[in-house]
């Protein structure tokens, strides 16, 4: 009779795998790719070194995988927020809220994406470009829609979206460096929203 992992076994396995991945996100985002050691990760996860290699092929693969997954998570959250609204102000606000929320409550996610893997590993470069591209597109779509509806003045929306992506990241990273990030969050969202609407030359219609 072939070995068949029962549900319970699989659950346990998944739980351990998940624990290690979460530990890895914490460690990678805290120390960056190179400074983070496998030992750091496994001791954070409470397992042995060997266990790491049972679940993951190697450090680099895990990191890239983590990066992709984390990017996916963040992008989806922001996109869903923007797509659930109709007007540009609402879309931008919802998107910013989602982004800031994640930044404040899951800072490791943002750290990993924006800081942890910058000069890290060659294989990541392309993923990074991809991430920036998708993030830009998320901000561009509402702009394109608003432009089509003449709610904003004619402009290179692609460029505006790039600028948004950079601007939001910078402000949010600065926010994370404050001790009372949570309290500031609301104000930051407001200010970024106004910034974005002004920058997009939002006219509110006609």
Position 159 contacts DNA (CB under 7 A): no
List the one residue from 1, 3, 179, 206 that touches its own copies (CB under 8 A).
3
| Binding partner selected for residue 65 from its own copies, DNA, none, CB under the kind-specific 5 to 8 Å limit | none
What part of residues 38-57 is at the interface with its own copies (CB under 8 A)?
48, 50
Among 22, 30, 32, 60, binds DNA (CB under 7 A): 60
- Of 12 and 84, the one with the shorter C-beta distance to its own copies is 12
Classify 145 as helix, strand or coil.
Answer: helix
Cβ 42 to DNA shortest distance, Å: 7
Q: Note whether 77 binds DNA by CB under 7 A.
A: no
From residue 145, alpha-carbon distances to 87, 91, 149, 154, 195 in Å are: 9, 11, 6, 12, 19
Closest CA to 93 of 201, 175, 190: 190
Taking residues 165 to 204 in sequence order and writing x for each that binds its own copies by CB under 8 A, - otherwise, the string is: xxxxxxx--x--x----------x--xx-xxx-xxxx---
- Select from 3-11, 22-30, 70-78, 94-102 the region that touches DNA (CB under 7 A): 3-11
Which neighbouring-strand residues pair with 202?
A: 152
117 in Cβ contact with 29 (< 8 Å): no
Cα angle 92-203-74, degrees, rounded to a multiple of 5: 10
For residues 27-56, which are near DNA according to CB under 7 A? 35-39, 47-55
Residue 33, C-beta contacts closer than 8 angstroms, at least 6 positions apart:
63, 116, 117, 120, 121, 124
Within 8 A by CB and 6+ apart from 132, the residues are 165
Should residue 119 be labelled a site residue for its own copies when binding is judged by CB under 8 A? yes
Where along the sequence are the contacts to its own copies (CB under 8 A)?
Answer: 3, 31-35, 48, 50, 115-121, 129, 132, 155-156, 159-160, 162-171, 174, 177, 188, 191-192, 194-196, 198-201
């Amino acid at each position: 009779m072939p070995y068949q992992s029962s549900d319970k076994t699989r659950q346990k396995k998944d739980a351990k795998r998940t624990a290690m991945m979460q530990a890895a996100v914490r460690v990678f985002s805290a120390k960056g790719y190179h400074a983070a050691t496998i030992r750091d990760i496994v001791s954070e996860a409470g397992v042995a070194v060997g266990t790491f290699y049972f679940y993951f092929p190697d450090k680099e693969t895990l990191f890239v995988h983590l990066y992709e997954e984390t990017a996916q998570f963040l992008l989806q959250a922001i996109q869903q927020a923007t797509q659930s609204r109709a007007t540009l102000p609402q879309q931008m606000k919802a998107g910013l809220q989602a982004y800031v929320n994640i930044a404040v409550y899951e800072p490791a996610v943002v750290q990993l994406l924006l800081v942890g893997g910058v000069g890290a590993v060659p294989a990541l470069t392309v993923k990074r470009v991809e991430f920036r591209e998708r993030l830009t597109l998320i901000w561009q779509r509402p702009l394109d829609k608003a432009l089509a509806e003449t709610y904003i003045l004619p402009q290179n929306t692609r460029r505006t979206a790039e600028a948004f992506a950079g601007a939001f990241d910078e402000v949010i990273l600065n926010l994370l460096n404050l001790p009372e990030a949570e309290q500031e969050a609301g104000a930051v969202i407001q200010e970024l929203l106004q910034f974005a609407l002004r920058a997009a030359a939002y006219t509110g219609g006609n």
